[in-house]
Chain A
């Protein structure tokens, strides 16, 4: 756009000057436009329903939001929505302490959504400006920009990154050379500390940190492009220059920041004012963070060469094929994207029907059509279908022995306390019926009675319980083996308190409690032991 001065005659001089001025003008207009969304926040808060939002300084919250995202940005990721919102809520609360927490939450979300510009399909902003052409023609143009952009990580989680434009708005250094601005910030910071102006020093340190983020972002983008195609990035001149510059820069800044850190520490330790002390401590933290970021950037810079070489090896030695055919990328996609939107429609839409193939048309019967037309609109429930409350029934295992068997078995064991019986005799009685299970149950009950649960029976209020004692007689039975137990009924009496206290829970107490009612069964058992 800038014409060489030699070709301009005396009569063409004014427009040429106008154009040179125009470039700066465009930059300033764009810089101005970038602040617009922040001002809009304060303008539009009046239209928010629900409450009076005039107390909130929305632009301030907006700047804080961009701040949070920028600080959270590192080489690979950004901030997630919740994280930013969480940080904004206390700020909103500080602005309007009397308001409910839900409102603070709402304000924070509103600010964040507006900075992403959720309502716009592009999720971005646009601003208009005009340029004057060399021939005096005035043309309106549109400037598209974004402040916060959403990206998806490999797992599909969405995170936010601040755009270069947003960082520029924050730093306030509109359209300036990164390097010189950084050095200027450095010097300013150093002087400010020496003079003891810590609040200013703090803002300068923060500005320096944002620039570091910008540097890293630039490098990241170049490395990403290199991974896709080595040839896409100029590794002969531009990239080595950038890496050298950045490395030099890191080195310089590292020296500076360490010097500054020493200064501030000294200041912090010698300051008398508590407020100054705290400010200095804050500054130490910020500069510390700067140093950490620089170390990270330096590590990436040192890797950059290796990335390039690895990618070159990987990409250059890929097998190239020599067969012809249409090249979808360079012959179709690239030229189509380069066309103006109006023209690009034609090739793109010509491609579509062929690529997707055929569809069998679905022709409903007239009868179905009537149904279809008369069917009321399905109201979509945001919550989806109601979850059916399942009726859960505890899975009960069927009893091994049925009631009749139990009745008969227990009937057999209803012994006269005075007359204990042998197990073999009981089994013989049980087998007399046609139910074979009765014998099984009797055997089991007898076995159970060898060590009866006296406490449980007593608590249940029973006065007698079945006991079985092994007196050494072997059992001769086709189905069961072991001892031919002596089964009888014993009476439960409350033990004397002395016995209880001396042996509260032992087996001896059981034995003392169970005094033989029969006079035969238990003594017999005791004898055998």
Chain B
């Protein structure tokens, strides 16, 4: 690929390549006589800029790379933040590739998002492909819900999403307990509304999503002592491992079914894109939840004396 990282400076001679969409053909068309040397130098600098900008995009496409680990990346991220022109050039290159630059920071680096129909975007169909048969729709929904739940527990308070220095800590069992507790609350709520009749047989799509989750086994023994893939902990573990591959989580331990911490990239993605997209869908469906901004989940600092083995990954509770 043309934006593969290349340590050498652009030194290709010959006809100037018109890669720069920002000021193409606007600078040096009339000044050939007066300063052809000057014009050539400017064209070369423009090519170098384009090279650097695409290099920054290419760094951003390597999800597990952070500026702290690569001095070149760090310099380019700093340059992006410093020079508006360079930033615009980077964004234009990204846009041409079908990417949107969500954010650039020294902590997270360049965080791109795939525009619609972009080759870089991940589709849930690719992700939950293995599910099949009668449970296909249910499995897809559970996989998608698992992703939502991981984010909700990783950033339990609204402020956590806004605080760039916040690092969330989540575990597989913690997320499962978190969702099940939410399901329990919903079950209680419907019981209070006297709607606790069982779902109709022939309309699976009308069954509330929480029932689907609550009904699914949370864990199960398998013949080869692996995690049961169809159980909710299996689904959550898959979601988390996928997020690890995408540079969104980093595994920190094996306790509570696997414990992970969040990366700045994940925070940006959830804050800038995912949460809004889901919220918009909810709005279209007519579901509007008004909060006071204080957050419905309280995050508690576990006193060491009360700390249990299981609560390590469950700092946040419903």
Footprint of B on A, CB under 8 Å? Answer: 1, 81, 116, 118, 121-124, 128-129, 131, 139-144, 149-152, 154, 156, 158, 225, 227-229, 232, 310, 314-315, 318, 320-361, 382
- Is A345 touching B140 in the complex (CB atoms < 8 A)? yes
Report how far A353 CA is from B122 CA in the complex, Å: 6
State how many angstroms separate the Cβ of B203 from the closest Cβ of chain A: 9
Report how far A271 CA is from B120 CA in the complex, Å: 84
The answer to the question of B275 belonging to the interface, with a C-beta cut-off of 8 Å to chain A, is yes
- Is A333 touching B148 in the complex (CB atoms < 8 A)? yes
Report how far A321 CA is from B296 CA in the complex, Å: 11
Q: Which residue of B lies closest to A334 (CB)?
A: B182
- Is A150 touching B221 in the complex (CB atoms < 8 A)? yes
State how many angstroms separate the Cβ of B172 from the closest Cβ of chain A: 9
Those 5 A-B pairs whose CB atoms lie nearest each other, nearest first? A354-B274, A342-B205, A325-B158, A354-B273, A348-B144
The tally of CB-CB contacts under 8 A between chains A and B is 317
- Is A124 touching B221 in the complex (CB atoms < 8 A)? no
List which B44-80 residues lie within 8 A (CB) of chain A. 61-63
- Is B274 touching A142 in the complex (CB atoms < 8 A)? no
Report how far A357 CA is from B267 CA in the complex, Å: 11
Please tell me which stretch of B14-22, B26-34, B83-91, B193-201 contacts chain A, meaning at least 4 of its Cβ atoms lie within 8 angstroms of it.
B193-201
The answer to the question of B265 belonging to the interface, with a C-beta cut-off of 8 Å to chain A, is yes
The answer to the question of B151 belonging to the interface, with a C-beta cut-off of 8 Å to chain A, is yes
- Is B155 touching A328 in the complex (CB atoms < 8 A)? yes
Chain B residues closer than 8 Å to A152, beta-carbon distance? 173, 218-219, 233, 257
- Is A338 touching B281 in the complex (CB atoms < 8 A)? no
Q: Which of A122, A154, A336, A337 contacts B309 (CB 8 A)?
A: A154
Chain B residues closer than 8 Å to A131, beta-carbon distance? 197
Give the one of A149, A335, A354 with max B CB within 10 A: A354
Chain A residues closer than 8 Å to B38, beta-carbon distance? none
Chain B residues closer than 8 Å to A322, beta-carbon distance? 159, 293-294
Q: Which residue of A lies closest to B282 (CB)?
A: A347
- Is B114 touching A358 in the complex (CB atoms < 8 A)? yes
Chain A residues closer than 8 Å to B197, beta-carbon distance? 131, 141
Footprint of A on B, CB under 8 Å? Answer: 61-63, 99, 111-114, 118-124, 127, 135, 137-138, 140-141, 144-145, 147-149, 151-152, 155-159, 161-163, 173, 177, 179, 181-186, 194, 197-202, 204-213, 215-221, 224, 230-231, 233, 242-243, 246-248, 255-257, 265-266, 269-282, 284-285, 287, 289, 291, 293-301, 303, 306, 308-310, 317-318
- Is B270 touching A348 in the complex (CB atoms < 8 A)? no
Q: Which residue of B lies closest to A332 (CB)?
A: B278
Report how far A123 CA is from B218 CA in the complex, Å: 9
Q: Which residue of B lies closest to A141 (CB)?
A: B198
- Is B161 touching A325 in the complex (CB atoms < 8 A)? yes
Report how far A306 CA is from B308 CA in the complex, Å: 17
Q: Which of A141, A342, A356 contacts B201 (CB 8 A)?
A: A141
Chain A residues closer than 8 Å to B122, beta-carbon distance? 352-353, 356-359
Chain A residues closer than 8 Å to B243, beta-carbon distance? 355-356
Chain A residues closer than 8 Å to B297, beta-carbon distance? 327, 329-330
- Is A351 touching B112 in the complex (CB atoms < 8 A)? no
- Is A355 touching B218 in the complex (CB atoms < 8 A)? no
Chain A residues closer than 8 Å to B299, beta-carbon distance? 318
State how many angstroms separate the Cβ of B311 from the closest Cβ of chain A: 8
Q: Are A81 and B295 also in contact (CB < 8 A) when A140-B200, A333-B152, A353-B114 are?
A: no
Chain B residues closer than 8 Å to A321, beta-carbon distance? 157-159, 294-295
Chain A residues closer than 8 Å to B274, beta-carbon distance? 350-355
Report how far A185 CA is from B294 CA in the complex, Å: 51
Report how far A129 CA is from B144 CA in the complex, Å: 31
- Is B216 touching A336 in the complex (CB atoms < 8 A)? no
Report how far A325 CA is from B308 CA in the complex, Å: 31
Chain A residues closer than 8 Å to B278, beta-carbon distance? 332, 336, 347-348, 350-351
State how many angstroms separate the Cβ of B215 from the closest Cβ of chain A: 5
- Is B293 touching A158 in the complex (CB atoms < 8 A)? no
Chain B residues closer than 8 Å to A326, beta-carbon distance? 158, 161, 271, 275-276, 279
Chain B residues closer than 8 Å to A325, beta-carbon distance? 158-159, 161-162, 271, 293
7 extra interface residue pairs, beta carbon distance < 8 Å, beyond A324-B162, A342-B205, A351-B151: A150-B219, A150-B221, A314-B306, A327-B157, A329-B182, A332-B148, A358-B114
Q: Which residue of B lies closest to A129 (CB)?
A: B198
Give the one of B62, B266, B295, B308 with max A CB within 10 A: B295
Q: Which of B99, B138, B217, B269 contacts A355 (CB 8 A)?
A: B269
Chain A residues closer than 8 Å to B173, beta-carbon distance? 152, 154
- Is A122 touching B295 in the complex (CB atoms < 8 A)? no
Chain A residues closer than 8 Å to B265, beta-carbon distance? 357
Report how far A150 CA is from B127 CA in the complex, Å: 27
Chain B residues closer than 8 Å to A129, beta-carbon distance? 198
- Is A140 touching B201 in the complex (CB atoms < 8 A)? yes
- Is A336 touching B248 in the complex (CB atoms < 8 A)? no
- Is B210 touching A338 in the complex (CB atoms < 8 A)? yes
Q: Which residue of A lies closest to B301 (CB)?
A: A318
State how many angstroms separate the Cβ of A307 from the closest Cβ of chain B: 10
Q: Which of A121, A327, A356 contacts B296 (CB 8 A)?
A: A327
